[in-house]
Structure 1
Amino acid sequence: MKGKRLLTLGMAVFVITTVVTVRGMEKGNDRDFQLTEADVGKMCLSGALMVGSRGTERQQTPDGEQEESEAENIPGQETGAADDAAAQEVPATETPAVVDTQDPANPSPQTINIDNSKPVVIIYHTHATESYQPASDGNFHVLQEEGTVREVGNVLTAELQKQGIQVVHDKTIHDNPSYNQSYSRSLETIKNLLGKYQNVAVVIDLHRDAAGYSGGAGKTAIVNGETVAKYNLVVGNGNPNADKLKIFANTVNKKAEEMYPGYGGRIIEKAYKFNQYVSDYDLLLEIGNNENNIRESKASAKCFADVLAAVIKDHSN
């Protein structure tokens, strides 16, 4: 609504400025600076559009750069053009069942080769400063670990390890002091980690969503009588392994709904990469949003650990 009012104001400025400027030109005698009415119209229209666009800016981070929801456009990704209409949300009830890998109509991940004596999962954070309620300082971006996706990652790590799955949790901050090019910096981190831990099968880039892009409220489910934050899985269709990424995301989501009815989240497909080409078992996982509190988000991490452990055990040799 605010953007529409600004656009209307901008167009009014365009009309008034055009009339005043053209009349002034008709009365002027400066022969060294001549503009046509068409030239003036273009200049004023450009100004009007600039005014109107100010109401459509995204959420701002502490250093003034634009926050990127993973369901939105991500600058700097070699992915081609896309907009919000390109997102496809796949409800958990519509995901394919986990069946034999030889059935082309209902694919499931190929067998995951794991060695439980070594790390099997890497968790890292492209946007490590993303925070939850009540840690709302800095527009929900804080440097301390408490109340952020890093704390949620700690829970996810601990719960997976309880089930015998070794995890590497990297807490490198890629989005501060500059938010721009966060994905470029996190790509270096994940490549280095995969080079060091070559047994790793599953890669998780753990985020939280922005409430402005998910209805303006925290999303929750009830699991075993407890309120937990909902999750999203974002799939970058710009990756050469996009089909395998979708199969794995669908499998995880199906298992979540089987284990905890109502907990299965959204799968959001976008025409970007998000560095997911580094593994066929890469999950861009958003647990909750900035309107969810940290307790709900940590509780969700416990549930998701159960789901992921089950998927790994189902598909490991």
Structure 2
Amino acid sequence: MRRIHWGRLLRRSLSLCMAVLALWLLLLGVGAGAAERSLEALGQNEDFVTAALRLELGPAGQESLPFWQRLAVGQSSLLEANPPKHSETPEPLESAPLPNAQPAPDHDDMTEEPPPAASEPGDVVERTLIPTTTQGYVTGAGLYLYNRTDLSVDLAAVAQADLCFSLAPAEAGPQILIIHSHATEAYTPQGEDTYVPSDNNTRTTDERYNMLRVGDEMERVFTEMGLSVLHDRELYDYPQYNGSYTRSGPAVEAYLAQYPTIKLVLDVHRDALVGSDGTVYKAVTAIDGAKTAQVMLVVGSDAGGTEHPHWQENLALAAKLQKGLDTLYPTLARPMTLRQSAYNQNLLPGSLLVEVGSHGNSLQEALAGARAFARAAGAVFLGLVRESVG
């Protein structure tokens, strides 16, 4: 027989009563039409959504919501599986030759095989990759960008720019496409998370352990937040790694043609971090005391010669997401990176490459990072939903 949690039942009953009472008072004061518009505006207000998420994550931010809203938001089941409350930065590690916060060479490029993982988890060096200096970065609006192109970027202006698109309501169709140009990328085996490698000891076709599993975790959180997601499960990098983006690009185009409601395309990968001396690193932070893989937003450009008319719009989206990540989880995100390759981001403004951890991380660390990223990104995405399909 299922155990009844009387305390939770009492809180939820009280929360429901208070919410109904508040709605009744609102209807009396302003009328049904105005009340409906007010509630819709509240649900689409990015600040409210962020504050609600902060309340769900812990005591921080409770003062920003009225009592009845705190009760209602506090009963969400979104974080029951893994409820982080705040971010903590692990003790800094010394004598690490990897440039602080900067990504390794472009191991996710089309023509380059990823390096092997460490033979044992203990051979991996942990680093929390956060900037400690502005040297080597473009900065502005409290953001850091590792610009690996010769393009000029005004990051402060980018952060203030309005996005050129909005999202239709979830009922209209899928809003987000999650795809994996390198779906077989995997993590360092640890504990029960072991797998049979395919061609390389950092890749596997077993979707319980590769990027499809990470995408599933993002999809779950987005869906619980009320967003509509389409998750592509094709292995574009198997059996041939080279040409992965050439194969995934037509799939993105087909999805966009079939589902015009898709305005966000997230190509989810993991990075590969190897120091100049061959040391394997993993990008990790701590959320509620649990090790969590850091994430990195990668923006493609036309610097490599590919026609890409809206890379600035993608960078503006990345800046808004980075702000959201930094607000909820200050050490979750590594600095954004602008690269020469387009990564199929020229197909739609609203396209980004998301690196969840690196090949030195464990799968569980990556899943924790995926959940945290989805919560913060979902708050931003909910703020882009418009009232009706135009």
TM-score range, shorter-chain basis?
A: 0.5 to 0.7
Aligned partner of 1:131 in structure 2 is: 186
Which structure dedicates a bigger proportion of its chain to helix? Answer: 1
Aligned partner of 1:303 in structure 2 is: 372
Q: What is the aligned-residue RMSD (CA, Å)?
A: 2.5
Aligned partner of 1:107 in structure 2 is: 161
Give CA-to-partner distance per residue, 1:255-313, whole Å, 9 cap, x none.
10011121122211111111001121111011011100000100111111111111112
Gapped regions of structure 1 (runs ≥ 5): 1-66, 77-87, 97-102
Q: Does 1:220 align with 2:275?
A: no
Q: In the superposition, relative to structure 1, how do residues 292 and 284 fare at CA in structure 2: closer, same or farther (>3 Å)? A: same
Query: 1:314: Cα distance to partner?
Result: 2.0
Query: 1:105: Cα distance to partner?
Result: 7.7
Contact 1:126 1:186 in 2 (8 A): yes
Q: In the superposition, relative to structure 1, how do residues 210 and 94 fare at CA in structure 2: closer, same or farther (>3 Å)? A: same
Q: In the alignment, residue 367 of structure 2 is paired with which amino acid?
A: K
Q: TM-score, normalised by structure 2?
A: 0.55
Give CA-to-partner distance per residue, 1:133-158, whole Å, 9 cap, x none.
20473221111112111100010001
Helix, strand or coil at the partner of 2:215: helix
The total of aligned residue pairs comes to 232
Question: Which whole-Å CA distance do the structure 2 matches of 1:112 and 1:264 have between them?
Answer: 24
Identity percentage over the alignment? Answer: 26
Q: In the superposition, relative to structure 1, how do residues 105 and 187 fare at CA in structure 2: closer, same or farther (>3 Å)? A: closer
Contact 1:91 1:266 in 2 (8 A): no
Aligned partner of 2:216 in structure 1 is: 154
Query: 1:111: Cα distance to partner?
Result: 5.0
Structure number with greater Rg is 1
Aligned partner of 2:360 in structure 1 is: 291
Q: Does 1:69 align with 2:107?
A: yes
Contact 1:91 1:267 in 2 (8 A): no
Query: 1:90: Cα distance to partner?
Result: 5.6
Question: Which whole-Å CA distance do the structure 2 matches of 1:125 and 1:316 have between them?
Answer: 25
Q: In the superposition, relative to structure 1, how do residues 140 and 89 fare at CA in structure 2: closer, same or farther (>3 Å)? A: farther
Gapped regions of structure 2 (runs ≥ 5): 1-104, 113-135, 145-156, 303-307
Aligned partner of 2:331 in structure 1 is: 262
Aligned partner of 2:142 in structure 1 is: 94
Helix, strand or coil at the partner of 1:298: helix
Q: In the superposition, relative to structure 1, how do residues 311 and 92 fare at CA in structure 2: closer, same or farther (>3 Å)? A: farther
Query: 1:167: Cα distance to partner?
Result: 0.6
Q: In the superposition, relative to structure 1, how do residues 68 and 106 fare at CA in structure 2: closer, same or farther (>3 Å)? A: closer
Q: In the alignment, residue 142 of structure 1 is paired with which amino acid?
A: T
